[in-house]
Amino acid sequence: MPRNQRLRVLIAEDDKQQRNIIHGFLTGYGDCDAVADGMQVLDAFMLALKEDRPYGLICLNAMMPRVDGIKALRVIRDLEKQFSLTPDYRAKILMILMQPDENLRQRAREQGCDLFVHKPFDMDTIAGDLARSGFCPSVVTQQEEPASAAESEKIIRNPMGFFHDVHPEKGYMLTVVMKNGTEIQFQCNKLFHLPKFQKLRDPDLFYSVYTDGEYIIFERPGVIPVEITVSEFMDFVLMDKIN
């Protein structure tokens, strides 16, 4: 969690009552967002990366609809590596378990889980675990100073994740270099079932790819260009990791 930036907390709990309880408690630590399933967790996490406003603490229920907590944790840690996030920017993960389960705890640890909590919630225990991990109510980070107009404009216009370069490879593979220098390889033929991208079967069009920083663009004379936005690319990468 970078200095001079208020802690952002993401809570993933499918039980509304339990979600409200943990949300009310963690509001004292920072700005909290709450979602009800694992897919929403990953959507929120990706959006935070795009906005360059990462979450410092993520609470995951191990058993959630659509994408479970263990799989969501694996994707989160993988994305943090791919986007070259420094330790200060990597989220602490608090896994919520229905009951003590050493096998589940071990699986979570292997994926990079930091803390565990069991239901029903014991707030004193949670507070102690958070304190040992460096989180304290109201003083988690220094008070965030208002950004100047120029800084605000920069945040809006240059979110993390814009493209720097793109290289076509054999087998319809793209090597995409992000603004921060991270390289991400993506198998483009996985998009051929989508009407928008069927034209990329044409090798001449595929190998004509370039980027203007905001889009990956496939363009050659006589053919309507095919464009991939940053958001679309992030979603494709995310779905590829889940599957």
**pLDDT tens track for 110-161:** 999 999 998 888 999 999 999 998 888 854 344 344 333 333 332 233 344 4
- On the question of pLDDT at 31 being above 50, the answer is yes
* 87 vs 180, residue with greater confidence: 87
Model confidence over 106-122: pLDDT tens digits? Answer: 999 999 999 999 888 89
pTM for this prediction: 0.65
- Residue 88: both structure tokens together: 């200060």
- Collapsing DSSP states into helix, strand and coil, what is residue 93? strand
Model confidence over 65-74: pLDDT tens digits? Answer: 888 899 899 9
Contacts of 121 (CB under 8 A, 6+ apart): 18, 21, 22, 25
- The pLDDT > 70 percentage for the chain reads 85
Place of tokens 């420094």: 86
Average of per-residue pLDDT across 1-26: 85
Angle, CA of 20, 56 and 236, to the nearest 5°: 90
Please, what are the domains in the chain? 8-143 (3.40.50.2300), 163-242 (3.30.2020)
| Calpha distance 212→64 (Å, rounded) | 39
Task: With CA atoms as reference, report the closest residue to 42 among 12, 63, 62.
Answer: 12
Please spell the DSSP secondary structure of 49-89, one letter per residue: HHTT---SEEEEESS-SSS-HHHHHHHHHHHHHHTT--GGG
Q: Residue 158 to residues 167, 186, 217: CA-CA distances in angstroms? A: 22, 23, 19
| Calpha distance 121→97 (Å, rounded) | 10
Contacts of 70 (CB under 8 A, 6+ apart): 62, 104, 107, 108, 111
